[in-house]
Amino acid sequence: MPKIVNHEEKKQHILEVAYLNIQKHGSMGTSVRSIANAANMTTGQVRYYYPNHSILLEEILAQLTKEIEHQIIEIFMDQSKPIIPRIIQAILLTIPLDKKRRADMIVWLAVQNQNSVSVNQSMSNEIYILSEKVYEILKAEQLLKSNINKEKSVQRLHALIDGLALHKLYQPDQLSNELIEAIISDEIYSWME
């Protein structure tokens, strides 16, 4: 009798192994062969689900993005907290303040770098979109200063988040999590009346 294979479990297993492999070796040091070895599979089995390295990297990035977006949506939907703490909490999800977010950022940067090199793509716009969403929420809540410049404010927040995230990733002990939260908070409050 033929063995029944759960294809979704196999695909997920490959993604999990690839995620750990990228954390350890970067996307350039991660090949289909190294992933297959770590997953106790053949390269043919891995290629059955992910025909090439780029498709595998894109799937990892899509899964990471979906997971973080889901968490951000949950935060924004939670009406039990005031809006400003929810905004700050959502932004902090994108900064490597703990082991999991640090690992996510390492993988995200490695995949983004590989995708930019291999298929001539630019960095994703997730942080810019989040910054725009913050502006729109504050506008809907009628909390913005009357003379605020949307494009300038959104770009400044985007750059601030990116800069803090990279700074925390490469020099984790230089900025405390509390200081990062205070910097983000100050920026958000600077938009308000």
Which pLDDT score, from 0 to 100, does residue 18 have?
87
Which pLDDT score, from 0 to 100, does residue 116 have?
61
Residue 70: pLDDT above 80?
yes
Q: What share of the chain is helix, strand, coil (3-state, %, to 5)?
A: 70, 0, 25
Q: How far is CA 24 from CA 34, 35, 53, 93, 109, in A?
A: 12, 12, 17, 22, 13
Which pLDDT score, from 0 to 100, does residue 21 have?
85
pLDDT one-digit tens code per residue, 142-182: 999 999 999 999 999 999 999 999 999 999 999 999 999 99
Within the chain, all domains assigned CATH 1.10.10.60 are found at 1-51
- Looking at the structure, give the CATH architecture of the domain made up of residues 1-51: Orthogonal Bundle (1.10)
pLDDT one-digit tens code per residue, 71-96: 999 999 999 999 999 999 999 999 99
Question: Can you give the pTM of this predicted structure?
Answer: 0.82
| Beta carbons of 180 and 164 less than 8 angstroms apart | yes
The two most distant CA atoms of the chain are separated, in Å, by 72
Q: Which CATH number fits domain 58-190: 3.30.160.250, 1.10.357.10, 1.10.3210.10, 3.40.720.10?
A: 1.10.357.10
Within the chain, all domains assigned CATH 1.10.357.10 are found at 58-190
Which pLDDT score, from 0 to 100, does residue 1 have?
64
pLDDT one-digit tens code per residue, 25-62: 776 667 888 889 989 999 999 999 998 877 888 888 88
